[in-house]
Amino acid sequence: MAEEQNPSSAPETPGARSRLAEAVEALRGVLDPEYPVSVVDLGLIRGVEVRGDTVRVRLTFTSMGCPCMDLIQEDITARLQRLPGVQRVELEVVWEPWSRAHISAEGRRRLRRLGVV
């Protein structure tokens, strides 16, 4: 059975963390190369699904001309492949509209400290 969620609304899992929660936590370690803010907190991750040994991630970018797209995708894949039991990572780039409204409260705090917002 697949587990899927939008990372901004992770359900609580009693006992040990679920594989889905572990995947989302790993994605929090993927930082935007321009700012030290995670792709989760920037609102770039649009969905995460775990099915067997495969993690599927839907993500968007701030613009179609983002020069860091390949770097971010490589980092996502590398981080998720470090998780126990993950053999395959599938990335789907979706061009859903992105705006500053998608940035989490933590992301805004970090960007404010950098003088960005």
Taking only the tens place, the pLDDT of each residue in 55-106 is 999 999 988 888 889 999 999 999 999 999 999 999 999 999 899 999 999 9
Residue boundaries of the structural domains of the chain: 3-113
How far is C-alpha 27 from the geometric centre of its chain's CA atoms?
A: 4
Look up residue 117 and give its amino acid: V
Instruction: Count Cβ atoms within 10 A of the Cβ of residue 67 and give its class: 0-12 exposed, 13-18 middle, 19 or more buried.
Output: exposed
Which pTM does this prediction carry?
Answer: 0.82
Nearest to 46 by CA among 110, 97, 111: 97
- Termini Cα distance of the chain: 41
43 versus 12: the higher-pLDDT residue is 43
- Structural fold of domain 3-113: GMP Synthetase; Chain A, domain 3 (3.30.300)
